[in-house]
Structures are given as C-alpha cells and as structure tokens.
Amino acid sequence: MSRSKIQNLQSPKGMHDILPQEQMWWDKVRKEVDYIADYYNFSRIDTAILERAEIFEKSLGETTDIVEKQMFVFKSRSGDRLALRPEGTASIVRSYVQHGLSHLGQPLKLFYIGPMFRKEQPQSGRFRQFHQAGFEIIGGDDDPVYDAQLILAIYRLLERFKIKNLSLHINSIGCRNCRPVYRKKLLDYYRDLAPKLCKDCRRRMKQNPLRLLDCKNEQCQQYKASTPMILDSLCSNCNKHFKGVLEFLEELKLSYQLDHHLVRGLDYYNRTAFEFFTDSVAEDGTKFDFALAGGGRYDYLLELFGSRQSSGVGGAVGMERVIEVMRKTKINLGLRSRQKVFFIHIGDVAKKKSLSLIEELRDAGIPVLESLGKDSLAAQLRSANKENADYALIFGQKEAFEDSIIVRDLKNGVQETVPLRKVVNEVKKRFK
C-alpha cells in the first residue's frame, strides 16, 4: 500500500513553533518567573489545558469576546463540551475548589506558566496559541494589601526582564452594589450615540455596557473621552478599597496612571483592574501598543464555583509579548558564551570506544558535542565548525591503541597529543 506524501503542511494559523535558537529568550523568562515566585512565596500549580467549556462560559461571561468569538470549543466522543483554556484564572479557581485548597494556609499564593488559546486575528503580540505566566492570591479577605502585593510581584518581574519605561494603568470597576449605578449613567450617555456606534457596541449596550469602554474600534474611540467616570459612582466600601490600593502603591514608590476606561475583558473582575505597558521604542521605531501584563480582583469567582464567598486577586504576563519587546529593544540577556568541545572519531575501533570515552568526559564536567553517525573526518570538522566549537578532540585508530587523544585548537589550528588519563585536565586548563 502506497502512502501519499504530506505536502505544504504548516502549523495552524496563529500557532507557532518555538525553535532552538529562540529558546534562550524563553529560558530567561521562565527563570525570572521562578525567581519572582520563590522571592514572593508563590507555589506552582499546573492545571489541565482542556476544561469543560462551561467553566469559562459562566466565569468569563457569556457575552464577552473571548466566549462569543475566541474560544476553541468542541465535543468529545462521549458528548462532553470541552474548551482549550483561553486564560488561567478560572482554571486555577476550579482546581482550588475541586481539591479543597482552602484547607491550606490562607491566602494561598499560586503561580503558573503555560499555553492559552484564543481564536484571535494573529498580529504583533497576539497569537492563537500564546503563553502566560500568572500569579494568584486566593482566599482570605479583600484587603487592598493583596492587590498591591500582586501588582508589585508583576512589576518586579517585568523589571527583571530589563524592560524600560514601564507604566502601570489602574482603575476600580466597583462591586455588585455600585456597578449598576454606573451602568445606568453609561447607558444614558450612549443612548443618543447608539446609531453611530459599531455593531459590537450596539450589542454591548444591551448585554454588557461596561464593555463599551473596552472597544478598540476607531469609530467608537472618539466617544469614549467624555464618558462618565466610574470612580465617581463607587460605593464607600469600593472607594475605601481603591484608595487603600493606591496608598500602598505610593508607599512602594510605584508610580501609576488612573485609567478611567480600563475595565478588562472578563466578567469575573470587580474593584481593582490594572495593566502594564511600556513606552520603549524598538530600534526600527516600532512602538508597542499592547499590554505586557494585566489582571485584577475577583471576589465573586470562588462563590460561582460553589465555594463559600472568598476573595481573590490575580494577574498574568504575556510571554510572547515580553519576549518581542526584549528582542526588538536589543535587551542583553547577560549570557556568557560557553566554550565548546567537539569529539571526532576516525575508524571503527575508535568509534566503538567513543561513547564510553565521551561519557567519562561529560561526567568530569566537560560539555562535549559530537556527530558519531558521520565517519568522515572532513564531515565531522564541518559539524564542529557549524557548532562554532573552540576545540576538537580527535580520537583515531592510532590514539585508540596508544590510549591518547589529539587536542586541537580550532581557532588557530595548534594541536598536541595527550594521554587519555590527562585529557580532562588539559581541556579544563584551556577553558580557563
């Protein structure tokens, strides 16, 4: 039976591979996330990439863009409606409730790193498969100190990426008590403007008026400037909470900008909402018009999952976004170039002894590259050149019988033969 060839296949639209030459950026991001998590006492949690679709539909809001347009939803063979997770917080809270994590010390500080999926139109800083590093403080009460701690951790993380000109935008979107008052004011403002709004905004007026402030359509931008400010409609408790958050930030000397249009795109948020941006400009003049990180408070989410009413606050960093900024602004990762040794064999006898000899070298702490599947000296030297190796260890038939090896400096061509028992010391001397 003949097999048809698979031709012209590429990764799905908006999904991307992370290639070997790009991994150093990702290693840097993961390393710094682990550092900040350890520094501020966040414990790692990994949740399922696949969840029941209703987890996001009920928590994010059925009228949000994510649920209406962007979720990847499908039915399993058993008929379950499943979704690739579009964000991390709902999954974390589901796990928190399911596994009874409220019995641990409260509040519980958790962090995660992993892929998320949204069916967006791919563009700079936006992918259909993207990665987030997130931090959550769950349980306890709604003390504004937790909001400040969460914001501080994310700010310090962005600092460790060496991203310059960071700006924190912050707002309060109120609670169940005061938000309806503001919603009425917002609808009153937009009522006469309805015919001039985009199709989505006309729908939002009926279903989710707060999302009018989140519209990116140029047609609607001109009307946002004069909208009523939600801060004027906060109840006394929300006003006190937000004032407390800002006071903590001021004590930390962490500057911020009040952003009256910042509401975030998820229904589970209440009170504090925040996003981080950068005013850095790439060498080619590119300006970054996307948020690097964002989050907020969610005091009703645990209750929605069947837990007793408890508070939470969280935020996430877009890993692709920070890497794009780091690369385009030529941020130095501070990586030291490691000297490389390439092992070359010549002849069958030498080849048979090569694996054990290479293992001895690696056990001694010498990183060894090789291409044992190639028998030609020229081919192996070409491989060493591609790897930009500094030294070659040449092990031929003669050397195998004499228990010796040739150490060649590939930069200047100088070489010498040394006994195998001394090769580790000889190589380490050259590394100095």
Nearest of 37, 34, 66 to residue 53 by alpha carbon: 66
Burial of residue 157 (CB within 10 Å: 0-12, 13-18, 19+) is buried
Distance of CA 286 to the CA centre of its chain: 21
Return the domain boundaries, the chain. Answer: 20-178+234-328, 341-431
Give the rounded distance of the alpha carbon of 287 from its chain centre: 20
Q: What is the dihedral of CA 294, 296, 300, 302, to 10 degrees?
A: 60
Q: Find the helix or strand (DSSP H, E) in which 26 lies.
A: helix 23-39
341-431 homologous superfamily: Anticodon-binding domain (3.40.50.800)
As given in the structure block, the two tokens for residue 155 are: 């700010």
Q: Mean of the pLDDT values across residues 311-326?
A: 92
pLDDT digits (tens, 9 = 90+) for 165-193: 899 999 999 998 898 888 888 888 888 88
The answer to whether the bond into 107 is cis (omega within 30° of 0) is yes
Q: What residues pair up with 74 in beta bridges, in sequence order? A: 82
What's domain 20-178+234-328's superfamily in CATH? Bira Bifunctional Protein; Domain 2 (3.30.930.10)
The per-residue pLDDT for range 292-310, each reduced to its tens digit, is 999 999 998 888 888 777 8
- Confidence band of 1 (pLDDT split at 50, 70, 90): very low
Structure-model confidence comparison of residues 1 and 323, the more confident one: 323
Q: Are 246 and 234 in contact (CB under 8 A)?
A: no
The whole-chain average pLDDT of the chain stands at: 87
Euclidean distance between CA atoms 203 and 64, whole angstroms: 11
- Residue 412 tokens read as 């200047």
Q: Which of 120-124, 142-146, 210-214, 374-378 has the lowest mean pLDDT?
A: 120-124
The angle that helices 199-207 and 179-190 make with each other, rounded to 10 degrees, is 140
Question: At a CB cut-off of 8 Å and minimum separation 6, what does 311 contact?
Answer: 107, 138, 139, 140, 141, 142, 146, 297, 299, 302
* pLDDT (average), residues 345-354: 89
Q: Which of 40-49, 51-60, 335-344 has the lowest mean pLDDT?
A: 335-344
**What pTM was estimated for this model as a whole?**
0.84
Contact 205, 187 (CB under 8 A): yes
Q: Alpha-carbon distance 344 to 378, whole Å?
A: 10
- Check if the beta carbon of residue 254 is closer than 8 Å to that of residue 217: no
26-40, 116-130, 319-333, 417-431: lowest mean pLDDT where?
Answer: 116-130
Query: Is 428 in contact with 377 (CB distance < 8 Å)?
Result: no
Which tops the pLDDT comparison, 327 or 282?
Answer: 327
Euclidean distance between CA atoms 400 and 352, whole angstroms = 10
Q: Is the pLDDT of residue 152 over 90?
A: yes
- CA 272 remoteness from chain centre: 22
CB atoms under 10 Å from CB of 431, counted, come to 13
